[in-house]
Structure 1
């Protein structure tokens, strides 16, 4: 009975490889990704996983249940380095380099075993050559490629037959990497070649090697000349994307008497975006209430939450924040939907790339309930 963990298997080549594993008779395929797989099959079990914020201990319970590990998650854009915001740099390197290394560490004793364990990681041809205007992505994939090469030597020295396959393609048609859509019919043959190379315990697979073999040779002959030509090619190709590949979310609140309802709200919001900004109200006068905890302490508590990337003092109106922080999502409670205030918000954002997402409140603990309990205690 064969089982696999696939990180990033919801779309593109990752999804094609998941389907390939199903076709090969795998009983269970555990897909970890930010989005659900675009196909539904009884062998596939999906778990939400954000490599930037979630704990990697999530993989511990699967280590001894699987004999195959595929890591295909990754993202990047062709753009000058100057257009990258700090959060995008961090997220890009975390997903493309740090995440594969940390995940492999969880399964590493399986790779050192004499029992069969199969592993493939998506690198990139950009990890081997000069790729200006692709600097951040190339840096992350270069780190991943070097890691695989070095660790394979260590594994070999132990006498284990297992190896990590470095899959380093150039452009792949039929994937969503460049903003397109997944076309499994266009990439199923490539997925099969990758899986076959993995089972053969190869250490490097470069699709279209007839083309990219020449690319590698040109780079080795004159790296600087190659880099200049690569720069000119990208400029002329029309592939430039100067918009940050980062979805920003915003929500505001008082966050007095911080409780699990607040935590769930922040967790749900962060699951919708790559970078979450939270505005903390200076006080609760807008609700005709007093706060038990000072603004500075409430702000520090929210800043300490792993789901939050940045905390600011809230503006009188959430829509006013957009002028300074052009967020993509505005998160609010569902009780605001249909109100005059938020109908005006929806009209304001109608010509802007902003989606208002209304969340139902978590049942159970609430600040109102805690205030009542505290009031009852203090009045005794």
Structure 2
């Protein structure tokens, strides 16, 4: 039986690569994005439906999913839509903070809640939430972004417990850096003079040389495909060499030692370059 995947934030980067990979593997793909009229690559593919969806619009979200479920069986949902808010906390407005939470966290919660009755009644389904290595560990200038990604991680674990009795799996894919235009198209930020030196050091991680070392979106898409199809009762999939290296280092030396290591790189002039992960 040909299966169908529903993906949010599929207009570019990881979302688009995921849609293309599943399509190449014989899946039906419902690729959602805020501006479907601008999409040309996915619309040219067989068995791919491109539809408009803004995860911050509750009414549109619910009506769109209701229409999709009335027409199509959905087997996997990937919550990928999101963006990064980068800068010191003091520099952000309430509106910026609310927008970050509304997109990265409330969007995931709303999508999950809307699909949950459907999967529960079918007693099957996989919900995959895309977080970040910054959803497993904090990093300077990423406080609100990390807050949303940590929240999605905890939300996913909790929902995994709730839905296990119904045969529904909830999984998390936590990528490190990805070679996309995330640092341009999908970043919002603000500056504060008191944090200028810190911000400049963090921004080194977004240089072209650094980005060239990140994972390709296609590589992370394969991890998402693995999570969707391996049948394992596994919650977290840390994706990318950089993310795994940081996560393994954190686990091997302990959380507190890892925190001190990060702090020392910024506070005490340690020469070792600290790489930014998104």
TM-score by length of 1: 0.55
SS of equivalent to 1:206? strand
After TM superposition, list the pairs within 5 Å mapping 1:251-262 onto structure 2: none
Separation in 2, partners of 1:123, 1:18? 17
Which position in structure 2 is the counterpart of 1:204?
236
Separation in 1, partners of 2:180, 2:138? 23
Separation in 2, partners of 1:74, 1:97? 9
1:222 aligns with 2:254: no
Cα separation, partners in 2 of 1:128 and 1:217, compared to 1, 3 Å: farther
More helix by share: 2
SS of equivalent to 2:137? coil
CA contact (8 A) 2:124 2:168 kept: yes
Deviation at 1:130, TM superposition (A): 2.4
1:42 aligns with 2:77: no
Deviation string, structure 1 residues 147-196 (Cα, Å, up to 9, x no partner): 0011111222x1x3331110111212x22211279x9x933232112211
CA contact (8 A) 1:11 1:38 kept: no
Which position in structure 1 is the counterpart of 2:198?
none
SS of equivalent to 1:30? strand
Deviation at 1:127, TM superposition (A): 1.6
1:192 aligns with 2:192: no
Deviation at 1:226, TM superposition (A): 4.5
| Matched residue count | 232
Cα separation, partners in 2 of 1:143 and 1:211, compared to 1, 3 Å: closer
Which position in structure 2 is the counterpart of 1:60?
66
Separation in 2, partners of 1:123, 1:89? 17
Cα separation, partners in 2 of 1:189 and 1:238, compared to 1, 3 Å: closer
Separation in 1, partners of 2:57, 2:121? 30
- Extract unaligned runs of 5+ from structure 2: 187-211
Partner residue of 1:76 out of 67, 78, 84: 84
1:12 aligns with 2:23: no
SS of equivalent to 2:51? strand
Question: Over aligned residue pairs, what C-alpha RMSD do you find?
Answer: 2.9
CA contact (8 A) 1:123 1:169 kept: yes
Greater displacement, 161-170 / 95-104: 161-170
Higher RCO (C-alpha 8 Å, min separation 6): 2
Cα separation, partners in 2 of 1:25 and 1:178, compared to 1, 3 Å: same
CA contact (8 A) 1:218 1:226 kept: no
After TM superposition, list the pairs within 5 Å mapping 1:141-290 onto structure 2: 141-156=149-164, 158=165, 160-172=166-178, 174-179=179-184, 186-200=216-230, 201=232, 202-207=234-239, 208=241, 209-218=244-253, 220-222=255-257, 224-226=259-261, 228-229=263-264
Separation in 1, partners of 2:253, 2:82? 26
Deviation at 1:51, TM superposition (A): 2.4
After TM superposition, list the pairs within 5 Å mapping 1:23-34 onto structure 2: 23-27=24-28, 29-34=29-34
Deviation at 1:197, TM superposition (A): 2.1
Separation in 2, partners of 1:229, 1:108? 44
Deviation at 1:11, TM superposition (A): 0.7
Deviation string, structure 1 residues 15-45 (Cα, Å, up to 9, x no partner): 1110111011123x22221233462323222
Deviation at 1:111, TM superposition (A): 3.7
- Extract unaligned runs of 5+ from structure 1: 240-380
Separation in 1, partners of 2:275, 2:257? 25
